Every structure is written in structure tokens, then in C-alpha cells.
Chain A
Amino acid sequence: MTSGPLFHEQTARQRIAALADTGSFAELLPPPERLTSPYLVQLGIPVSFDDGLVIGRAKIGGKKVYLAAQVGQFVGGAVGEIHGAKLTGLFKAAARDRVPCVLIIESGGVRLHEGSAGEIAIAETMRAIFECRAKKVPTIAVIATDIGAYGGMGILSTCCDFRVMTEHGRLGISGPIVIEKWMGKKAYDSSNRALVWKTSGGKTKYLLGDADALVHDGADAVRDAVAKLLGKSSPVSLKGVKERQKELEKRLKRFGDTADPDAVWKGMGVRNIEAASLASGPEFAALAKRGK
């Protein structure tokens, strides 16, 4: 166990300060620039000086990175026009300068109050992420809170080379409340926390191979995992996508008719469900690896 504050309880700015080498973070378009949303103002909703996204240059373990964190408390970390343009710009800068880009995601997706502008911004950012990948510039998404990465941001996270998650992190597209409304409480009771967590939580994502690291809920552990991935990249290749196609086909065939998440855990080699549920992120990762 590492000491220090829990990563999921920190604010976006605290997370950045905790991941970056001391004093290395230089914010781009910082709060005094006052880039606030013209949409929210006209709707009578409070604005924020960073529009819910903190971006900048930093070093992690002595290595140059571009680093960003979404502010989940501000309109659910959702992506509006300015927020999205900052995101696109940062990944474009990363591709241009061949500097890895680390994004701490905490977002429900597109900011509905700004309509389609945020949706287009997410699509533009995806293009920029793949620009990085084509140049073998690592792109890393960190997902560590229950606001998680949902909607367009969930999809965007899967475009990055790597995803680092904690057991608190959740990754998906439609959130539990939306699905409950759609399918009924019988099919998905959004108040059943264990079920929600086993549907979209870090442990299940790690087991299935959609998260590349599952770490303790602390800045040190997240930073170590990110630092390990900074030297790696996974450019898109024909061989790679063919393997992934097979893997995803197999997953769907094995579990497509399975409503029970425990069956998925068992199918992926977890023998003692209760022990695995109680295990911390890294303990769980070790158990999963050994098939216990």
C-alpha cells in the first residue's frame, strides 16, 4: 500500500501536481486567460476559467510530457467547444513535438449544453490522437474515478495507446442511469453499486484487456504506471487489428449471452470471486495473472 491522498478524491489540479515532477508543470492557457464558455453564460450556468480542463507541459520521471486533467466537478467534466479545442490542441502539439501525452479523464462525454460543438471536438481529438500514434508518440489515458470515462470520452479513451485504471475508475459509453431508463430496473438497477462496478469498473476492464494497468488508488501508483508506459507505443498495424478482431469476436462469443458479471470473471480465470472483489487493484491484477 502506498500512503498519501487517494487519487480519486483529489481535484484535477492536485492530480496534475501529484503526477508531475515537482515544479515541472507549466500550464497552457491558464485561468488568467479566462477562456470561459459563451454557451454556459447565455444559459445562466456558472463558467470556469479553465472550462473544466487543465492542460500543460510537464515532466514525469524526468521525461517531457504533455499532461491534461478534466475537472469532473465542473459540468461533469463534459466536453464543450473550448474544453474540446484545448484537448485537440494538446494532442496536436504532442504529435508535432513528438512528446507523449497523458490525459486524466473524468468526464461523462459531450457537454449537452453546448450541443454538437463538443461532439465534433471529440472527433477532432480522436484524429489528433491517431496522429500521435502514427508517429509512435505514446498517448495514455488515466481513468480513476467513478465519473469515469463515458460517452464520447469513453470511446476516445479506447483510441489512446494505453489506459491506466484504478478500481474506482469506470469506462463505458452509456452510464447505468441511462441504461436503466432504457431497459428497465430489472435489466440494470443503477443503484446496485456492485453490479455497476462489475459492469464498467477497472477490475472487469483489466480482466478483459481493455485496461493495460490496474493500480492502487494513489498518485504514486498512477505515476509509476504512467512512467512505465511513456517509452512504449502501439502504432496501428494490420497484424494488430486482425488479432484484436479475433480477440473481440471471441469475447462476444463467450460472454455475449452472459448477464452475470461473475461468469465473465470466472471465464477470464478468476477462481475466487469474493477474494477478487475484496482485493485491491494491484492484488487483483496479480490474482488475475495467476488465475486465482
Chain B
Amino acid sequence: MEKFAKAFPSKPLPSKTAKPWALAGVVGSGNLEVLLERGGRPSGTMECHVETSIPGYKASWLAALADFAHHYPAGGTKVTINDQGAPPVLVNLRLRQAYDHLTKGDK
């Protein structure tokens, strides 16, 4: 297991979201879960915590998260990830799904 955390600059999250937290994905082989929570954090950064079963890919994780924080207004959120070897494309998809659930609801 490898564990790391970092905050990335991001534009503030819209003041109104559908819910206080959202979860996307499941922990299973080649998959991951992303928990996205709002509230109580500096509005200019997205705080990220990752735990992954495949060590050695910290740089690509940080790049993916930085990219997401850059493209989506996610400032003031906390992202927590439990990963069991998901490919990068799936990481990106889950982040977007969690963000959509948070901001627009489950539909």
C-alpha cells in the first residue's frame, strides 16, 4: 500500500451543491472509490488523500488530481480515494462522476 496527500489550487466550488458528499466507484480489482466532500476547508484548494494498493505511481496520481483541480471548480472540497489498481482513465471518470453527483445530485 502507498499513501499520500496533497492540496491543489482550484477555483471555489459553486456555493450550492446537491449534497454534502458524494461517492463514486467501488473498491475492487482494477477499480477505486472516490469520496468527495465539501465544507470546512480553504475555498481555494482541493485537498486530496490517496491510498493505493499499487505503489510507485505517485507522480501520475498527483498529475491527474492537479489536472482535475485545474479544470473543475473544486476549491473547498476534500477528495479521498481508496484504490485497487484502477487505470488512469478510470480515475478521471470516477472523479468526474463524484463531482457530478455532488453538484447535481444522483441523476
Contacts and interface: CB of A to CB of B under 8 A. Distances in A.
Interface of A: 11-13, 17, 30-32, 34, 41, 44-49, 71, 73-74
Tell me which of B23, B31, B52, B106 has the highest count of chain A C-beta atoms within 10 A of its own C-beta.
B23
A70 to B, nearest CB: 11
Interface in B43-61: 51-53
Interface residues of B, number: 20
B82 interface: yes
Nearest to B53: A46
A34 B33 CA distance: 12
Contacts of A45: 1, 53
Interface string B18-52: 00110100111101010101000000000000011
Given A31-B35, A32-B35, 17 more contacts: A11-B26, A13-B23, A31-B21, A31-B33, A34-B80, A41-B1, A44-B53, A46-B52, A47-B27, A48-B27, A48-B33, A49-B80, A71-B26, A71-B28, A73-B29, A73-B31, A74-B27
Interface string B62-98: 0000000000000000001011100000000000000
Contacts, number: 50
Contact of B26 (A34, A47, A73): A73
A44 to B, nearest CB: 5
A49 B82 contact: yes
B65 to A, nearest CB: 18
Contacts of B35: 31-32, 49
Given A17-B106, A30-B21, A32-B37, A46 B82 contact: yes
B72 to A, nearest CB: 20
B45 to A, nearest CB: 19
Nearest to A11: B26
19 contacts: A17-B106, A31-B23, A31-B33, A32-B20, A41-B1, A46-B1, A46-B51, A46-B52, A46-B53, A46-B83, A47-B82, A49-B23, A49-B35, A71-B26, A73-B27, A73-B29, A74-B26, A74-B27, A74-B28
A234 B99 CA distance: 45
Contacts of B51: 46-47
Contacts of B1: 41, 44-46
A49 B35 CA distance: 8
A231 B29 CA distance: 39
A30 B80 CA distance: 14
Nearest to B20: A32
Closest 9 CB pairs of A and B: A73-B28, A48-B27, A46-B84, A73-B26, A31-B23, A44-B1, A46-B53, A32-B21, A74-B27
